[in-house]
Amino acid sequence: MIRKITQFKYHKAWGLFLLRAVTGLVFVNHGWMKLAALDKTAGFFSTLGLPPGAATFIALVEVVGGLMLILGVVPRLAGLVLGVEMIVALWLVNIPRGSYEFELLLCAASLAVFLVGAGRLSLYSMERD
């Protein structure tokens, strides 16, 4: 039975879709929360030494990049940008505070999309066929 499940014709496409969709949903949600509390986010970012516009920029990167992952629109670029953003977040915030598992997982998922692409179930794939 496991052999039948693992030989399903589109299992890679569905796996990549699941990875993209859930990772993108998390980024959209977190970016939206940053936008909804932009003053607090900007205040926190200023304690990290980031410039004033960084909060807006990061929030928009997360919302737009997350939507790009979900839809599969230029997914490698979205994965790279979001992965690099998570590396910076890990470096500046999470590793020094000792809580990094969640951001590390988002980083790995984003960079995985960058490395392997979106799969067949994406708008990017449909426009190339």
Q: Which sign does the torsion angle of CA 26, 32, 36, 38 carry?
A: positive
Q: Which sign does the torsion angle of CA 59, 60, 62, 63 carry?
A: positive
Give, for all 129 residues of the chain, the pLDDT tens digit.
Answer: 666 666 666 678 889 999 999 999 999 999 999 999 999 999 999 999 999 899 999 999 999 999 999 999 999 999 999 999 999 999 999 988 888 999 999 999 999 999 999 888 888 766 554
Question: What is the C-alpha separation between 84 and 78, in angstroms, rounded?
Answer: 10
What pLDDT score was predicted for residue 1?
Answer: 63
Contact indicator for 1, 8 with CB cutoff of 8 Å: no
Question: What is the C-alpha separation between 60 and 57, in angstroms, rounded?
Answer: 5
